[in-house]
Amino acid sequence: MTPPALARLAIHEAAALLASGGASSVELTQAVLERIDAVDDRVSAFVTVTRELALEQARAADARIASGDAGPLTGAPMQLKDNMCTLGVRTTCSSRMLEDFVPSYDAAAARRLYDQGAVLVGKGNLDEFAMGSSTENSAFFPTRNPWDTDRVPGGSSGGPAAAVAADECMFALGSDTGGSIRQPAALCGVVGLKPTYGLVSRYGLIAFASSLDQIGPITKDVTDAAIVLNAIAGYDPRDSTSINRSPPDYTLALKGGVRGLRVGVPKEYFVDGMEPGVEKAVRDAIGTLEELGAVVTDISLPMSPYAMAVYYILAPSEASANLARYDGVKYGFSAQDASSMWDALEKTRQHGFGPEVKRRIMLGAYALSAGYYDAYYLKAQRVRTLIRRELDAAFEKIDVIAAPTSPSVAFRQGAKMDDPVQMYLNDVFTQPANIAGIPAISIPGGMSEGLPVGLQLMAPHLGEPTLLRAAHAYEQATQWRAMRPPLVPNG
Known active-site residue 104: no
Catalytic residue among 44, 134, 175, 180: 180
Beta bridge partners of 174: 216
Known active-site residue 156: yes
CA atoms within 13 A on the CB side of 89: 26
d(CA 370, CA 358): 20
| Kind and range of the H or E run holding 410 | none
Query: How many helices (DSSP H) and strands (DSSP E) are in the chain?
Result: 16, 11
Chain centre distance of CA 187: 12
Catalytic residue among 24, 25, 44, 81: 81
In this structure, the strands spanning 400-404 and 451-458 are antiparallel
CA dihedral over 198, 192, 295, 307, signed as positive or negative: positive
For the chain, what is the largest distance between any 2 Cα atoms, rounded to a whole number of angstroms?
70
d(CA 150, CA 208): 28
The closest alpha carbon to 173, from 250, 84, 243, belongs to 84
Known active-site residue 397: no
What CA–CA distances, in Å, run from 41 to 129, 141, 187, 305, 471?
23, 11, 20, 39, 33
Catalytic residue among 24, 95, 138, 156: 156
**Catalytically active residues, by annotation:** 81, 156, 180
